[in-house]
């Protein structure tokens, strides 16, 4: 195993190249092995240097970031973190990049000097190290399979459950982060159009990005997908995505109807939107009939929400390590013994369809 994670920075801004280099190399386990001023130069450097991770700007001269990403993924697949502007156009381009194979993104505005520079640096370093760790796991599993050794089965379960009981679920709450947009595009279109329950999703993303994500998913799915709006009625068969920068809760209107509540409170959470805040709110109204799902992402957001759900007699699904872009959020659930079933991403929709539809 290499001592350091190698990073290539591709950006037309000299200031950005210098800033990202200084941030990354402040960690002794990361080495910036090269920089490039445009997509073509970056592609050539990727072929030559074969870095572990690339940070890639989108708008550049000579060759833009999306074109470079396509060439990199076709000829020298590498873990790529996009550097994205916090605009509607930047959101659309970033989601396209994630479809093409980029694993994550950092908002470009957050990369400039600011009072939060320490947090920005820590987040970037954490992402690089976690993505590199997951990449090493994948490469190790691929080597094992190449020599015809059968590793531990991908379809694992915890505790004693091989399936979930059909108790009549009335809601689904799903938490996801790094690797989420690509993963959601794989699993949500497979959900049955006949699912008679609302689905609440927290995907850690900035404002504007969640609206673009919801619109893209709505065009792919049999169910309606929308960015949640405060005050709207909770309807069965609708997938609500929490807006970036805001928490999503639900509340009663006093006449047996539930409404979406979009709020900045609590203001002291690590993430906004927060999986824990959303899931605890759904737990409050649906109790054990809320089915909790935790998928790819860094950190442990969702752990408290699942713990609360389990205390009410509910059930949970965690994505497995092999199909997670980063095995952080689901790992927290599994390590705490709170996951009833652990599945690869592509099996989660199948399980939801079966237990929700047949349990009605």
Helix, strand, coil shares, percent, the chain, to 5: 40, 20, 40
Omega into 269 within 30° of 0, i.e. cis?
A: no
% pLDDT > 90, the chain: 71
Q: Which residue has the higher pLDDT, 56 or 112?
A: 56
Give the model confidence (pLDDT) of 168-177 as tens digits.
Answer: 999 999 999 9
Over residues 321-346, the mean pLDDT reads 94
Write down the pLDDT at residue 359: 64
Contact of 241 with 214, CB cutoff 8 Å: yes
19 is known as an active-site residue: no
Write down the pLDDT at residue 156: 41
Spell out the domain ranges in the chain: 5-146, 171-358
Strand-pair partners of 30: 5
Write down the pLDDT at residue 117: 58
**Predicted confidence (pLDDT) at residue 135 exceeds the cutoff of 70:** yes
Q: Which of 57, 79, 204, 281 is catalytic?
A: 204
Distance CA 211, CA 213 (A): 5
Extract the tokens encoding 87: 């605009």
Find all residues with CB under 8 Å of 239, minimum gap 6, and list them: 188, 191, 198, 199, 201, 217, 221, 223, 224, 225, 226
Q: Which of 12, 52, 104, 301 is catalytic?
A: 301
Q: Domain 5-146's class? A: alpha beta
% pLDDT > 70, the chain: 88
**Would you place residue 257 in the very low, low, confident or very high pLDDT band (cuts 50, 70, 90)?**
confident
**Predicted confidence (pLDDT) at residue 146 exceeds the cutoff of 80:** no
Same fold flag, 5-146 and 171-358: yes
Cα torsion at 39, 44, 46, 49 (round to 10°)?
Answer: -140
**Predicted confidence (pLDDT) at residue 152 exceeds the cutoff of 90:** no
CA distances from 89 to 96, 244, 284 (A): 11, 16, 37
Fold of 171-358: Rossmann fold (3.40.50)
For the chain, the distance separating the N- and C-terminal CA atoms, rounded to the nearest angstrom, is 51
> What average pLDDT does the chain have?
88
**Predicted confidence (pLDDT) at residue 196 exceeds the cutoff of 50:** yes
CA distances from 280 to 128, 148, 200, 283 (A): 30, 45, 12, 5
- Taking alpha carbons only, the member of 70, 66, 68 closest to residue 90 is 66
Write down the pLDDT at residue 157: 41
Over residues 234-249, the mean pLDDT reads 96
**Would you place residue 211 in the very low, low, confident or very high pLDDT band (cuts 50, 70, 90)?**
very high
88 is known as an active-site residue: no
User: Half-sphere exposure of residue 271, counting CA atoms within 13 Å on the CB side?
Assistant: 27
The segment with the largest mean pLDDT, out of 146-150, 156-160, 178-182, is 178-182
Over residues 157-170, the mean pLDDT reads 72
Give the model confidence (pLDDT) of 296-320 as tens digits.
Answer: 998 999 999 999 999 999 999 999 9
Region of residue 26 (phi > 0: left; psi between -120 and 50: alpha; otherwise: beta): alpha
247 is known as an active-site residue: no
Q: Which of 19, 177, 316, 324 is catalytic?
A: 177
């Amino acid at each position: 195993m290499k001592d350091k994670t190698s990073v290539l920075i591709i950006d037309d801004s000299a200031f950005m190249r210098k800033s990202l280099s200084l941030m990354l190399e402040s960690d002794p386990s990361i080495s910036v092995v090269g920089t490039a001023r445009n997509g073509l130069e970056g592609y050539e450097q990727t072929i030559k240097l074969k870095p572990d991770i690339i940070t890639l700007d989108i708008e550049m001269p000579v060759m833009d970031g999306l074109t470079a990403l396509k060439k990199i993924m076709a000829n020298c697949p590498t873990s790529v973190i996009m550097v994205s502007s916090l605009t509607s156009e930047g959101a659309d381009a970033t989601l396209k990049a994630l479809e093409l194979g980029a694993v994550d993104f950092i908002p470009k505005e957050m990369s400039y000097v600011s009072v939060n520079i320490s947090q920005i640096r820590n987040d970037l370093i954490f992402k690089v190290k976690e993505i590199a760790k997951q990449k090493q796991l994948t490469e190790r599993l691929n080597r094992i399979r190449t020599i015809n050794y059968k590793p531990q089965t991908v379809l694992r379960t915890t505790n004693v459950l091989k399936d979930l009981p059909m108790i009549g679920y009335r809601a689904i709450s799903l938490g996801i982060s790094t690797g989420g947009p690509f993963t959601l595009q794989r699993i949500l279109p497979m959900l049955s159009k006949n699912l008679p329950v609302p689905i609440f999703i927290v995907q850690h993303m900035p404002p504007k990005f969640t609206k673009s994500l919801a619109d893209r998913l709505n065009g792919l799915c049999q169910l309606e997908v929308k960015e949640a709006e405060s005050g709207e009625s909770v309807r069965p068969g609708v997938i609500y995505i929490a807006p970036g920068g805001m928490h999503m809760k639900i509340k009663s209107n006093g006449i047996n109807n539930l409404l979406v509540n979009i709020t900045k409170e609590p203001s002291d959470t690590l993430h906004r939107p927060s999986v824990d805040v959303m899931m605890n709110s759904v737990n409050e109204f649906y109790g054990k009939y809320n089915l909790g799902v935790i998928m790819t992402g860094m950190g442990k957001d969702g752990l408290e929400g699942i713990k609360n759900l389990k205390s009410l007699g509910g059930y949970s699904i965690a994505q497995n390590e092999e199909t997670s872009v980063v095995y952080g959020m689901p790992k927290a659930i599994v390590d705490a013994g709170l996951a009833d079933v652990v599945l690869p991403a592509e099996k989660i929709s199948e399980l939801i369809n079966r237990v929700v539809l047949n349990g009605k």
